[in-house]
Amino acid sequence: MFQAIKTVNHPFLFVFFCFLSVSTTLADSKPKLKECSLLEPGVPSEYLLSRAIQEQIDGYQANNRKKTTEAKLSFETSVSFLDKYHECQKEKGKGPTAQTAEIQAQNYLELTNTNKAWEWSEIAKQNSKEVTKEIVILQMRIRLREQDLGKATDVLEHDLVSFPNDPDFLYLLGNLYFERKMWNQSLLYYTALSFVIERRDNHSKYKNITSKSLGELNYKLDYPKIAIKRYNEYNSAIKNDMEVLFRLAQIYFVLGDFKMSKHYLEQIREKNSRDLDASHMLAEIIFLDARDLAPQFFLTLKNEKKIPKDGIIPLLYQLVNGTTFGLDEKLRIFIKANPGRLSPRVALLELAEKNNDPDYEQLNAETAQYAYEYRQYGLAEKILRRGMNRLKENQTEQRVNYLEKISSCQEMFGQWNHSILTTKEAITLSSDLEKKFRLRFRLAYLYLQGNLKKEHVSVGILTDTINENPNPTHYYLRGLAYFQLEKYKESIHDYSEAIRMEPNNPNLYFYRASAFDKLKQFSETESDLKKTISLNPNASNAMNYLGYLYAEKNIYPEEAKQLLNQAISLEPDNPAYQDSLGWVHYRKKDYNLALLHLNFAASLALERGFEDPVIYEHLGDVYLAKNDPVNAVQFYKLSLSKDKQTSNKDLVSKIKRVQKEISE
């Protein structure tokens, strides 16, 4: 997937040749002097430079003609002329310029002498007044020639602050991390590139590849709805990419939306009638979702000669045709070899039901669990209800088990009230005390979800449960309910009780720190966050929290930076972490780095489908510090428009103050 950008530009070439022509003309009217020991009298040292440049151009042209031997000779000759030019400059007490060092680095790169190429590229960088895009990309190409993707990435990231909105830099970084299979980092840079394209360069050459890459990355990182959005952006421009259409079908399948999955698979079948993967996937979906239609579709596949000899399709075809002899054993063998496939398990369950298999209840539970894990919650609930309907009246506890699982399926669909009613039914039926405690905990948890806003009910259930069975999990959940009710002292009490019972659970310290912070008890907050990190060295949320607190209080800047860099190394695509690091750089008055990370934060938040007013306000603060009040007020207004508070007086005051400054 990686495509490096090759830059061979000499913007000073025309001017140089004009200068050489004039200087030669003037030299004809004066006595000829020997400018350099390597040259004849009257010949300027720039002659060597011009020959070096011409030989390099000849080398590139020979490469384009696939004349590798001829190209090699030209680059070697260019190196020789440049060496002589630099000797002449040395005699004058001068060293290589940034431009001549860059040309020499290019020559050595073409000659695959990467050590020399890097050496000269560093000279070019040191002698340049400011870092140029061309030299950075040249250094990246040197590292790529060494087949070191890590170092190539480091080159670009080191100087990204000088080119924060450059599409080439962002694309190359996204691409390099993609090649390294570092999906979160790749997502960070492709998201930033998309942000730049939308606001600065809507006709960018990277627009379509960025949409496709973001589709793939969000799919890999389990953001299926965002992946759909990005793939559809790509699909609107490139309509016949079968790979993307198939990926969309897969995503909708994972989301349990069989209708949309079938929509894309049918598109593929229409556009490419010979495609087997789409036909076979469609057959499995119809078998799972529209069992009555399966016989007719499998007959269509047979007529199209798309029923293979091996795999799951012939086994499903055998079942829908009613020829079940030996099918049980075949399905079990297939499942053993392919434990992750859902359709053979559903087929085996159907067969077991027809045959009144004594293992049906176990098969039902296993199949429903697989459907649940594959996020086929509707199918899982359907399987569970069929199993529950086969129970006898006296199988009460088995019915409770089914209801508990059905409640989980309803929860995952966001059907909170249905899930609550199902859980209550299970509690009423069960006579097992331990099971009742578990179900009551679940009920209390459900009342805290969605938009129910029934924290008081949750507290009541948990209080009764704690009186009968005090354990850390119950205290933790009641602490969370109290926190949502803004009863922070009660929340701290419950978290402390949970910690007393389970002192090595890092999450309990983190949640208690959040409550301490609400009460402005900084030392206790800091202590609990440090304890969280000591118990869990990968607790990026605690690192971010503590680093941001330090930045807000303008204390321990190096510790704050270290904590946030560590958090970002664990989750580079977390907008909150990027915002925190940007704020640390703002506090250190490193405004360019602050803007870099705050723009990352803003673009990542947008990619996740929300806009954070805090990030926009921070961007406004940085622009104001950079004496750019126009951009500052723009972001302040954007922050105010996204702020859910009825009135943010501080922000309104900032806007008025900056607007007054602009008008003056």
pLDDT higher than 90, residue 317: yes
Quote the distance between the C-alpha of residue 212 and its chain's center. 13
Report how far Cα 161 is from the mean position of its chain's Cα atoms: 20
**What is the three-state SS of 479-528?**
HHHHHHCCCHHHHHHHHHHHHHHCCCCHHHHHHHHHHHHHCCCHHHHHHH
pLDDT on residue 10: 52
627 phi/psi in degrees, rounded to 5: 60, 40
One-letter amino acid for residue 557 of the chain: P
Tens of pLDDT, residue by residue over 129-163, are 999 999 999 999 999 999 999 999 999 999 999 99
Strand ranges in 425-471 using DSSP code E only, listed in sequence order? none
Q: pLDDT by residue (tens digit) across 456-512? A: 999 999 999 999 999 999 999 999 999 999 999 999 999 999 999 999 999 999 999
The 3 state secondary structure assigned to 191-222 is: HHHHHHHHHHCCCCCCHHHHHHHHHHHHHHCC
Amino acid symbol at 213? S
Q: What's the confidence (pLDDT) of residue 490?
A: 98
Amino acid identity, position 387? G
**pLDDT tens readout for residues 61-107:** 999 999 999 999 999 999 999 999 999 999 999 999 999 999 999 99
**Res 359 pLDDT > 70:** yes
Res. 451 pLDDT band, cuts 50 70 90: confident
Residues 27/44, Cβ–Cβ less than 8 Å: yes
Helices (H) and strands (E) in the chain, counts: 35, 0
Instruction: Reply yes or no on whether the pLDDT at 592 is more than 50.
Output: yes
**Integer CA distances (angstroms), 419 to 254, 268, 409, 446, 539, in order:** 22, 38, 8, 8, 32
3-class SS of residue 504? coil
Question: Tokens in use for 358?
Answer: 């004594």
Q: What letter does residue 81 receive in the DSSP assignment?
A: H
Residue range 609-632, pLDDT digits in tens: 989 999 999 999 999 999 999 999
Residue 616 φ then ψ, to 5° = -65, -40
Q: Is the dihedral of CA 129, 130, 136, 137 positive or negative?
A: negative
pLDDT at 242: 95
